[in-house]
Structure 1
Amino acid sequence: MMIFARRAATQVGATTMDRPEWVAVHPQGQHVFCTLTNNKNRGVKENQPVGGPNPRAENHYGQIVRWMPTAGDHASNSFEWDLYLIAGNPSVHKDSLYGGSDNITAENMFNSPDGIGFDKAGRLWIQTDGNYSNKGDFAGQGNNQMLCGDPMTGEVKRFATGPVACEITGLAFSADQTAMFVGVQHPGEGGAPSHFPQGGSTKPRSTVMIVTREDGGIVGA
């Protein structure tokens, strides 16, 4: 069952999800967060109905689900869940679930949440690996990016925007939280014009960036 977990889950009627990616546990509680990147087949294929943590057909944007096990015991066979956010494009889909949840605005909108992780203070860092065409359903969403969310209030703010045609993925902190390490993967994929990170006429290269504050303080504080 450990090797064929997905097949075993199908046999017992488990809920199909919209492409689960990363999972992170809040450092000061029992809440678990999981990114559901997107799913073009939601509501299209018979075995992937709309409902529960997958509220939209042909889900282009993705969402983040969180759950809390009964009595805080992760060995429990029951739990409560909700959606921390539903990504979307409120500029294109106003007053629609495809515009995202209430904490998504034209200033912080994105698609395809992928990497997630917490810092010691409990801030949720969200990284994207999605459609950066800036056309149609994705108009105005820009390149892949990194955002910071408050699990208590639901507030989400954009922290960084990646270079052309890259994925933002990978997150680590120094022990004192004054340095953040962030991965920029395959900039310029598909032949998109990019010379990141060295500029000039150099070839684009995947990179790990170090982010620090000018005052030497804790990143994100």
Structure 2
Amino acid sequence: MMDTLHEWLSQLLAWVESLGYWGIIIGLAIEVIPSEIVLGYAGYLVYQDIISFPVAVICGTIGAILQQWLLYAIGRYGGRPFLDKFGKYLHLKAKHIDLAEKWFEKYGPMIVFTGRFVPVMRQAVSIPAGMARMNLWQFTWLTALASVPWSILFVWLGFSLGDKWESVADEAAPLIRWILIAALGLLVVYFLVQYLRKRGKSI
């Protein structure tokens, strides 16, 4: 079975390579393959001088935004009834959507940024943003702000690892922890500023 999965993955990556930059965008937009693998492979293509590093990062960011726009639209126009019926086909479990809704209600739009660095929340958080009819431009800006460092990290790792790019997820794990800590730190600062503003207005 592992050989079959590896062959299937190889075929998908060959398809990504054949499309070049469009392969990165489409691969991330539909995310049949995890974004870490698509971006890591893009870094490997940079290593082979097939594509350029900056454009690979830009395409990775565009692909990520397109995917989140789709999920945002599902939340906004389909809502919970659509997700309860078709969520399983999108690999979105009800418990993850419930958690994303609670986070969005508690932390507001800023969770769209910080949630990108949490594996379970990365896709799910766009759903409640759409259901809450969050401003699309604000949603896009926060999504892009989080997608850029994510794309840079994995393209750079794929490039640095070269022929060993397949170990990109293992190499990224300790770095992602630090990114998550930094994102959570920003969330704390954001709420502290909001709290001080409200307190200042009430005085």
Shorter-chain TM-score category? Answer: under 0.3
With normalisation by structure 1, the TM-score equals 0.25
Greater share of helix: 2
Greater share of strand: 1
With normalisation by structure 2, the TM-score equals 0.26
